[in-house]
Amino acid sequence: MERNEGLGDFLRARRAALDPQQLGIRDAAPRRVPGLRREELAALAGVSVDYYTRLEQGRPITPSEAVLDALADALQLDPAERSYLHAVARRPATSRRRTPRTVQKVRPGVHALLARLGDTPAFVLGRRTDILASNRMARALLADFGAMPVRDRNAVRWVILDEAARSLFAQDWEKAASMFVGTLRMDAARHPDDTRTAELVGELSMKSDRFLRWWAGQKVVEPSHGTKTLHHPIVGRLTLRTEALTFPGDPDQTLFTFLADPGSPSDEALTVLSAWATDHARSDASTPDTSKTPRTTPYA
């Protein structure tokens, strides 16, 4: 039986993030490492020190739902982290099968929905944060993902390695990048033996110290909603509300939308950007493509 190193790494990272003083633990002896000691965490969770130690060591143990909930309470996990804890603890400890390289497809109805959203930028995020589809406003606001090589149509790779993405998110770049890294980690827990995920993590670990630090920090994110401030090269600063909606029957596909408050400067900026995108599309249509390989894209 194989060790569950993912569970051990997560428990250690979350234990180290706890503040003993905030939990009412006072100890005159200096601590060699940040966070709680193993025996302190085990006491809070109501499990033996030996049992908790074996979990952190990644021993082939399958903890019960009650134990996982007790650990989540003791570690003060948020809902996304709780979900991750349960997912990573359920990894099979026997010989694992590699996940086949299947291609995700977006339903025709979802493509139609993207087109109907009009001036609302929207895209569909799939497995390992791959960008599966985007409408014309998302391409104008963020990037023309359809023009990229297939392997580059990935949110984590784009936001971390593309200088244009760093400029677009400006002061929000670290927040946006770490969010996508946390989303990738959640996907990795749900699909632990996906070879493409392993390849992506390996590539970004070599190319980005920030990614390596965030990945080691065990941050976990389930996208829901928020606010993004963007600095677009054509229309300037925009403050947009984001919503993330998972499709019923397909938890591995999430629709992201970017909305401006009605009548706000950002709303006006999106209107200008929409006009620019329309003119740009007409210009492209009137210019013959003389390249040997025509550009194709599956996106709406």
Which range of residues forms the domain containing residue 84?
5-89
- pLDDT-derived band at 295 (thresholds 50, 70, 90) equals very low
**146: CATH:** 3.30.450.180
In this structure, the chain runs to a length of 300
Q: Are residues 59 and 161 in the same domain?
A: no
Is 168:231 a contact under the CB 8 Å cutoff? yes
Instruction: Say what percent of the chain tops pLDDT 70.
Output: 88
Judgement on whether residues 69 and 134 belong to the same structural domain of the protein: no
Same-domain check for residues 11 and 158 = no
Same domain for 63 and 128: no
Map tokens 């600063």 to a residue: 237
pLDDT tens figures, 249-290? 788 999 999 999 999 999 999 999 999 888 776 666 555 554
Query: Cα(122)–Cα(221) distance, rounded to whole angstroms?
Result: 20
Q: List the single range of 24-28, 48-52, 141-145 with lowest mean pLDDT.
A: 24-28
Domain count across the chain: 2
**E strands, the chain, in order:** 122-125, 131-134, 225-232, 236-247, 250-259
The helix or strand, by DSSP H or E, that contains position 166, with its residue range, turns out to be: helix 163-169
73 lies in the same domain as 130: no
Is there a domain that residue 196 lies in?
A: yes
Location of structure tokens 């569909």: 124
Would the pTM count as exceeding 0.85? Answer: no
Q: Is 253 in the same domain as 224? A: yes
Q: Do the Cβ atoms of 226 and 242 come closer than 8 Å?
A: yes
- Terminal C-alpha separation, the chain: 46
Query: 212 and 152, same structural domain?
Result: yes
What is the Cβ-side half-sphere exposure of residue 207, based on CA atoms within 13 angstroms?
Answer: 13
Least confident of 6-10, 18-22, 237-241, 274-278: 18-22
**Looking at residue 29, what is its pLDDT?**
64
* Claim to verify: residue 146 and residue 266 sit in the same structural domain: yes
Residue 71 lies in a domain: yes
Across the beta sheet with 236-247, the strand order is: 131-134, 122-125, 250-259, 236-247, 225-232
Same domain? For 112 and 58 the reply is no
Q: Is 50 exceeded by the pLDDT of residue 291? A: no
Residues 122 and 140: beta-carbon distance below 8 Å: no
Q: pLDDT by residue (tens digit) across 223-260? A: 889 999 999 999 999 999 999 999 887 889 999 999 99
Q: What is the pLDDT of residue 287?
A: 54
Query: For the chain, percent helix, then strand, then coil, each to nearest 5?
Result: 50, 15, 35
Domain finish residue from 56, 89, 122 = 89
Is 129 found in the same domain as 73? no
pLDDT digits (tens, 9 = 90+) for 61-78: 889 999 999 999 999 999
